[in-house]
Amino acid sequence: MQKQLAEFIGTFTLVLFGCGAAVLAGGDIGLAGISFAFGFALIGMAYGIGPVSGCHINPAVSLGAVAAGRMSLSEAAGYILAQILGALAGAGILMLIASGKADYSVAQNGLGQNGWGPGYLGEYAMTAAFIFEVVASFLFIVVILGATGKGAPAHLAGLAIGIALVVIHLVGINVTGVSVNPARSIGPAVFVGGTALAQLWLFIVAPVIGTVAAGLLFRSGQLDAQS
């Protein structure tokens, strides 16, 4: 339960502070500020819980690790459950905080949920959203598996991974709000409902496709520095 607790806390933190930056402070800090909030939350957790669980805080990362041969599917299942519960808790607490403002409405203001199409940020089409999430997830797990592989400077892994997440957000917030993490998408969508819940499938399927593809490349030795 130690690893699962760490993953719960880590995912809770990512959703509360990352999505919270968008919901509570987005008008003041802008897209760059939101991007850094997600990245810095990940960096903090990487060093805080990394020694305990590896700080996946993302079901797609755990499945990518399975594909790379670095984790068993049974262990990943425990991680994923903890991550989803942490994301739900983070989104729930964020909604309680946001509701403390008189003019806040979860239906109108949301919880930093992901999406695409008319009415959502840059109004990109579903195809563009799907391509972005697959490619961004693929590149994100390449950084993660590479930075945590044998021979890599372990003390810099959290920093490299967090910076990668910042860059992904800087590029992709207007496209999908950036998921690359099914748990991060599930938490807000469950509370917001409606379109966010109807579009949730993309933010589960696309990140998993991207991370599993990268994991298989590492497993094959094509991207493994030790092969």
What's the token pair of residue 59?
């079901």
What average pLDDT score do residues 167-183 get?
A: 98
pLDDT for 44 equals 98
Handedness of CA 225, 43, 24, 61 (dihedral sign): positive
What average pLDDT score do residues 134-156 get?
A: 94
Task: Provide the pLDDT confidence category of residue 127 given band limits of 50, 70 and 90.
Answer: very high
* CA separation for the pair 177, 31 (Å, rounded): 10
pLDDT digits (tens, 9 = 90+) for 15-61: 999 999 999 999 999 999 999 999 999 999 999 999 999 999 999 99
Pair 221, 122: CB distance under 8 Å: no
pLDDT for 154 equals 85
pLDDT for 168 equals 98
Tell whether the model's pLDDT for residue 224 goes beyond 80.
no
What average pLDDT score do residues 191-199 get?
A: 98
What are the distances in angstroms from CA 8 to CA 20, 56, 65? 17, 10, 18
Task: Provide the pLDDT confidence category of residue 218 given band limits of 50, 70 and 90.
Answer: very high
What average pLDDT score do residues 68-96 get?
A: 98
pLDDT for 151 equals 83
- Percentage of residues of the chain with pLDDT beyond 70: 99
pLDDT digits (tens, 9 = 90+) for 201-212: 999 999 999 999
pLDDT for 90 equals 98
Amino acid symbol at 102: A
Three-state SS across the chain? Answer: CHHHHHHHHHHHHHHHHHHHHHHHHHHHHHHHHHHHHHHHHHHHHHHHHHHHHCCCCCHHHHHHHHHCCCCCHHHHHHHHHHHHHHHHHHHHHHHHHHCCCCCCCHHHHCCCCCCCCCCCCCCCCHHHHHHHHHHHHHHHHHHHHHHCCCCCCHHHHHHHHHHHHHHHHHHHHHHHCCCCCHHHHHHHHHHHCHHHHHCCCHHHHHHHHHHHHHHHHHHHCCCCCCC
Tell whether the model's pLDDT for residue 227 goes beyond 80.
no
